[in-house]
Structures are given as structure tokens and as C-alpha cells.
Structure 1
């Protein structure tokens, strides 16, 4: 069985300069480099893990990019608060629970190359 996001390529890619800015939205930036000998496409993906529940992975975003050999590209992904929230049936609202989370960057859900910790605060989102 293949993991979510798994794909094959004729070249290799690396990730670097992974940074997160935590504000109204979370802004993730990183550099993708084609480290192989042929042109190819990569789909870097961001995943959220609640550190207290290490098995809970949530896809936050991805972007397909095509690069020539040796070429690099900086990618910026915006993560809206709704992607961090869970629906609470009792209060009929979307809520972000405070805690320490990990945002991972990788090629698939089982191939996380870089990660950063982020502290989230309790937040109730509008139901719209």
C-alpha cells in the first residue's frame, strides 16, 4: 500500500530553508531543489501533527513545481486557521485547541524531510 502523496520521479529533490510565520494565517516558506540529472516535477506537502497525538496527520497544503536539474524555487504556502480546527458537535463550531504541534514538510505523509514546532492557542472560528 502506498502512503498519501506517494509518487514516482526520474529525479530527486531536496528541501531547505523551511520557515514558519505564525499570525492570522500561518505562512510556510521553503526552497525546493532538483538534485538529480533530469528535469522533473515534485509536489512538496505540509502536514500537521498534534505532538500529544503523534499519529494524527492532517494535510495542510501542497504545491506542484517543475524544475530543471540543479534549479531551485522558493515556495510559500498559506495555511488558513480552518485547516487547523476540528468541528465540535456540542458547540456546533470549529475550534483550534491550544497545544504544541509539528508542521512537517515532505514528499508524502510517510516521508517527512523537515519539521518545525508551532504553539497554537485556543480559538473558536466563525461557523461560516
Structure 2
């Protein structure tokens, strides 16, 4: 059965996309810790990051780095944190989280945004992504 993220890749479930290429997709987390919380995923469904083939893992990190640079240009923060937790959806995903304090990495936090705010932010990050 397809994961939620595979359904996003296939266009069956909407997402606020910020970057995409033939292998990877980045989109805003709909339950963000903070404004700008972004997920980077391989389009191919693989449960655990360590099960990715070495070259795919390296490319996912490159892709995540580029998205992180764009995110830092777009959202006011001290730095971008990265986490690979992976318990919510059995599909490899990298969390990119704008940080102003360590509390921003607390996954019990939920930053509320309207649909319009999500769309506007996604477009702003897209404008800064250099793939």
C-alpha cells in the first residue's frame, strides 16, 4: 500500500511543494514545528533512510542542502536544523526546521498557518531554490 508521501508524489494528495526534481520532492510539513518546516523525500518509497542505496542517500543530502539554503534565505532564523525521525510515515524523509532556539526542534510544537500562508511561503521558498 502506498504511503501518504507516495500519494503526494503521485499527485493523489495535495502538498505545498517547494522543490522537485526527477528523484526528490520537498514540501512544507502541514503540522510544522515552526514556520517553514519542510520535508525532503525520495520519490521512490523506501521506509528507512539507511535502506537507501548509497548514491540515492548522497543525492538526497545534496537536494536537502539546496532546499535548506533556500529556506534560510526565505524564513528568518539563526540556522536550519535537520532531523531524520521517520516514525510518522514509513517513507524516508528529512525534516528541515528553521531554528531560533532548540525548542523549535520539539516535535510536540505545532505552528498554525492558513492555506494562504502555506501557499505564499511555498512560493517564496521555490523562488530561492537553485537545483
User: Structure 2 length normalisation: TM-score?
Assistant: 0.27
Structure number having the greater strand percentage: 1
More relative contact order, 1 or 2 (CA 8 Å, 6+ apart) = 2
Higher Rg of the two aligned structures: 1
- The TM-score normalised by the length of structure 1 is 0.28
